[in-house]
């Protein structure tokens, strides 16, 4: 196992100070390594995540070579040549577990931001004190965007949040954590080959969720009540003016509708299974309130906004991969983690790789079992099926 930094590197160096997992502790299980702490319903801090992953590495005696960056993976007869900054390795098979979130995804229009505005991404952001004084525009309202907008607003600044497509979820539903429902109802285990629009499922933004001691919901209604100004998707920056889409009512209605459909799925499941589990009565939530006449533009030269936080997602980085298996969008061509056209090459830890839960910590176990089975058959000389 080659790691360019330290064990749990991304959790150590690529996250903001206050971040806690949005998955409850009992769900942050690793293969054959359940959570056994005293707070199963709590949410881990980054220091706790690092400790847990480091413990797992020690318990499993994982043969990790830290501070070893892979600089190239190329085909050679019968396998692959892996170049690292610590020498070369030749092997029959390679598993790419380099993460789905190596680089912040920032739209091209960033180039048009006036110079005096400081731009930070979720990778650079640490806490509100590090931002220059003044108003903040947060772009993106998925898990990262809503959490940062909330934290920056609480620090006393004025915050404008540009909202695009998003996934709304309540933190609790019928007396249980919403992610308990995702797992128990089987939604999270839905396989990639059972999903109608897999490409879309793989692009779905992260849900509007936050892990707090209060188990609080953090949706757009909550943010608006806290004083965050909601505007539409950032569509362009022209002559120093940020222009926002006018489609907030549609966007909100769609997110509300999708949430209701998901809650219907949970209710259907509960109807057939609740003799065994205790849950409260079905609930429905207030629709997302549309602001009256949301702003369609904002003059970035007026001094009202001093910084922009790009919470527009992340993408993997395969610049070191010298096997032609990456499409024009920078995504690996794979069938459930088995890379197409490159026998012996595998990937793990990507969105909806084999199941809806693939990109979460708890998703590794089932995906790893499937892929290791495939890999073992491949190494044994058989013709493995996906
Ligand atoms: C902001 C944020 C919050 C998240 N919150 C949650 C959450 O609450 N719960 C949850 O279950 N999941 C969460 N996730 C998803 C989480 O990232 C994954 O569950 C988990 O980290 C995936 O682990 P991984 O090992 O696949 O990827 P990573 O943790 O990204 O690890 C990949 C490793 O590969 C190394 N690497 C990359 N390229 C090279 C190279 N060329 N050479 C050598 N080493 C390399 C990196 O240094 C890194 O350590 C979150 C993700 C983000 C970005």
CA-314 nearest atom, ligand 1: 53
Name 229's bridge partners: 160
CA distance 195 to 198: 6
Residue 309 has pLDDT above 70, yes or no: yes
In 34-69, beta strands by DSSP E: none
Span from the CA of 9 to the centroid of ligand 1 (angstroms): 8
Q: What is the per-residue pLDDT across 248-257, written as a single tens digit (0 to 9) for each?
A: 999 999 999 9
CA distance 313 to 275: 40
Residue 21 CB–ligand 1 contact under 6 Å: yes
Residue 23 CB–ligand 1 contact under 6 Å: yes
- Ligand 1 atom 3, closest CA: 21
What is the mean predicted confidence (pLDDT) over 340-349?
96
CA-362 nearest atom, ligand 1: 11
Span from the CA of 141 to the centroid of ligand 1 (angstroms): 21
Residue 381 has pLDDT above 70, yes or no: yes
Q: What is the per-residue pLDDT across 210-245, written as a single tens digit (0 to 9) for each?
A: 999 999 999 999 999 999 999 999 999 999 999 999
Residue 386 has pLDDT above 70, yes or no: no
Residue 313 CB–ligand 1 contact under 6 Å: no
Q: Residue 383 — very low, low, confident or very high, per pLDDT cuts 50/70/90?
A: low
Q: Residue 278 — very low, low, confident or very high, per pLDDT cuts 50/70/90?
A: confident
What is the mean predicted confidence (pLDDT) over 334-361?
97
Q: What is the pLDDT of residue 256?
A: 98
What percent of the chain has pLDDT above 90?
96
Distance of CA 37 to the CA centre of its chain: 25
Residue 72 CB–ligand 1 contact under 6 Å: no
Span from the CA of 99 to the centroid of ligand 1 (angstroms): 5
What is the mean predicted confidence (pLDDT) over 140-153?
98
Total Cβ atoms within 10 A of residue 198: 12
Q: What is the pLDDT of residue 266?
A: 96
Best of 89, 103, 348, 349 to mutate for ligand 1, by most ligand atoms within 8 A of CB? 349
Q: What is the per-residue pLDDT across 53-103, written as a single tens digit (0 to 9) for each?
A: 999 999 999 999 999 999 999 999 989 999 999 999 999 999 999 999 999
- Ligand 1 atom 35, closest CA: 98
Residue 332 has pLDDT above 80, yes or no: yes
Residue 384 has pLDDT above 80, yes or no: no
Residue 274 has pLDDT above 70, yes or no: no
Residue 26 CB–ligand 1 contact under 6 Å: no
Contacts of 237 (CB under 8 A, 6+ apart): 109, 112, 113, 243, 300
Residue 320 has pLDDT above 90, yes or no: yes
Residue 205 has pLDDT above 80, yes or no: yes
């Amino acid at each position: 196992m080659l790691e360019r930094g330290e064990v749990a590197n991304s959790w150590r160096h690529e996250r903001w100070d206050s971040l806690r997992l949005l998955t409850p502790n009992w769900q942050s299980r690793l293969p054959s390594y359940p959570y056994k702490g005293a707070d199963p319903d709590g949410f881990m801090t980054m220091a706790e995540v690092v400790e847990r992953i480091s413990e797992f590495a020690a318990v499993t005696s994982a043969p990790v070579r830290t501070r070893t960056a892979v600089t190239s993976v190329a085909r050679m007869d019968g396998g692959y040549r892996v170049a690292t900054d610590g020498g070369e390795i030749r092997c029959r098979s390679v598993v790419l577990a380099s993460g789905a979130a190596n680089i912040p995804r920032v739209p091209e229009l960033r180039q048009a931001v006036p110079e005096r505005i400081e731009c930070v991404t979720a990778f650079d952001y640490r806490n509100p004190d590090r931002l220059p004084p003044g108003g903040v525009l947060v772009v993106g309202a998925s898990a990262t965007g809503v959490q940062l907008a909330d934290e920056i607003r609480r620090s006393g600044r004025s915050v404008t949040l540009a909202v695009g497509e998003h996934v709304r979820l309540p933190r609790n539903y019928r007396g249980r954590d919403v992610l308990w429902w995702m797992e128990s109802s089987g939604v999270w285990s839905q396989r990639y080959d059972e999903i109608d629009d897999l490409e879309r499922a793989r692009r779905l933004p992260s849900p509007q969720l936050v892990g707090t001691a209060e188990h609080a919901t953090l949706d757009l209604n909550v943010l608006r009540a806290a004083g965050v100004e909601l505007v539409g998707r950032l569509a362009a920056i022209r002559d120093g003016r940020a222009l926002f889409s006018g489609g907030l009512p549609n966007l909100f209605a769609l997110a509300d509708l999708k949430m209701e459909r998901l809650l219907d799925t949970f209710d259907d499941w509960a109807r057939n299974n609740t003799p065994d589990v205790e849950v409260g009565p079905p609930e429905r939530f207030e629709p997302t309130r549309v602001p009256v006449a949301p702003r369609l533009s904002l003059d970035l030269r007026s001094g009202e906004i001093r910084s922009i936080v790009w919470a527009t997602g992340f993408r993997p980085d395969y610049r070191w991969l010298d096997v032609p298996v990456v499409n024009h969008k920078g995504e690996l061509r794979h069938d459930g983690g088995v890379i197409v056209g490159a026998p012996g090459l595998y990937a793990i830890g990507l969105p909806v790789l084999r199941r809806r839960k693939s990109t979460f910590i708890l998703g590794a176990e089932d995906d790893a079992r499937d892929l290791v089975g495939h890999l073992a058959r491949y190494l044994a000389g058989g013709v493995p099926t996906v």
